[in-house]
């Protein structure tokens, strides 16, 4: 995947929003596709790359590797490398990661009431759609 244009309105708006409130940065992070599921896998003890891959059956290597890296960069998970061959690397939540999971669980409860109440699929909500 390619570089971001740092001279675009798209980029500038994002920076503007992230500066306005860090919530925007957090949402930008957790809303990436598969992100919460990866987090929940790790929370539930599925700690290896291959295990997560198996659990989230349609996720690609590329995306999983990316999501793990981001979570690691944000200090939400840590990596334990056993230095074996074939590689054995395990992930677990940091306390920050656990805290986030709890908050997401609350949001999840809300969404179960709210989303199903109105029976709309977000994929039907795009600009220009009727």
Partner DNA sequence: ACAAGTACTCATTTTTTTATTAGTGATGAT
Partner DNA sequence: ATCATCACTAATAAAAAAATGAGTACTTGT
Residues that bind a second copy (CB under 8 A): 1-2, 4, 9, 11-18, 20-31, 33-34, 36-37, 58-59, 62-63, 66, 69-70, 73-76, 96, 99-100, 103-104, 106-108, 110-118, 120-123, 125-128
Alpha-carbon 117 to chain mean position = 25
- Give strand pairing partners of 80: 90
- Give strand pairing partners of 89: 81
Residue 85 binds which entry of a second copy, DNA, none, with Cβ cut-offs from 5 to 8 Å by kind?
DNA
For DNA, the binding residues (CB under 7 A) are 1-5, 7-11, 13-14, 28, 32-34, 48-51, 58-63, 65-66, 68-69, 79, 85-89, 126-128, 130
Residue 48 binds which entry of DNA, a second copy, none, with Cβ cut-offs from 5 to 8 Å by kind?
DNA
CA distance 28 to 17: 10
* Residue 118, CA distances (Å) to 45, 59, 81, 112 in order: 34, 29, 45, 11
Per the CB < 8 A criterion, the answer to whether 36 and 30 are in contact is yes
Residue 95 binds which entry of a second copy, DNA, none, with Cβ cut-offs from 5 to 8 Å by kind?
none
């Amino acid at each position: 995947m390619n570089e971001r244009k740092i001279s675009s309105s798209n980029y500038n708006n994002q920076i503007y929003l992230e500066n306005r409130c860090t919530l925007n940065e957090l949402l930008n992070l957790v809303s990436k596709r598969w992100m919460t599921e990866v987090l929940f896998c790790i929370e539930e003890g599925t700690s290896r790359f291959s295990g997560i891959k198996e659990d989230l059956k349609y996720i690609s290597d590329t995306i999983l590797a990316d999501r793990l890296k981001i979570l690691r960069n944000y200090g939400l998970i840590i990596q334990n490398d056993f230095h074996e061959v074939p590689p054995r690397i395990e992930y677990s939540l940091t306390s920050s990661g656990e805290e986030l999971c709890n908050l997401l669980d609350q949001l999840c409860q809300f969404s179960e009431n709210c989303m199903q109440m109105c029976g709309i699929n977000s994929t039907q909500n795009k600009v220009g759609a009727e």
